[in-house]
Amino acid sequence: MKLDENSYEIGELQAEMTAYLTAKSLGMESEEDSVSYMAGWTKNGLKFKEMGYENQEKVLDDVVKVSDYILEEIVK
């Protein structure tokens, strides 16, 4: 994904989504805090919507890959 002025905000979104997905997979609940944190960094999702479909897909794909990797490392 091309870095631009939104890259820090999107990086925060990816990090929080990864943390949420990983925690959820381990049976931990953090939805309320995670959703408000992501909304704050993305102006309630506006920055994510503005990225376009291809970049959105890349962001979500990266989240799933990193979450899967973390979970695999925990299970080892």
In this predicted structure, the answer to whether residue 42 has a pLDDT above a threshold of 80 is yes
Q: How far apart are CA 4 and CA 38, in angstroms?
A: 18
Number of domains in the chain: 1
In this predicted structure, the answer to whether residue 3 has a pLDDT above a threshold of 90 is no
62 is a domain residue: yes
**Predicted pLDDT of residue 76:** 82
63 is a domain residue: yes
2 is a domain residue: no
**Predicted pLDDT of residue 37:** 95
**Predicted pLDDT of residue 15:** 95
Q: Calculate mean pLDDT across residues 23-50.
A: 92
Q: Which domain holds residue 58?
A: 7-75
51 is a domain residue: yes
Classified as helix, coil or strand, 35 is: helix
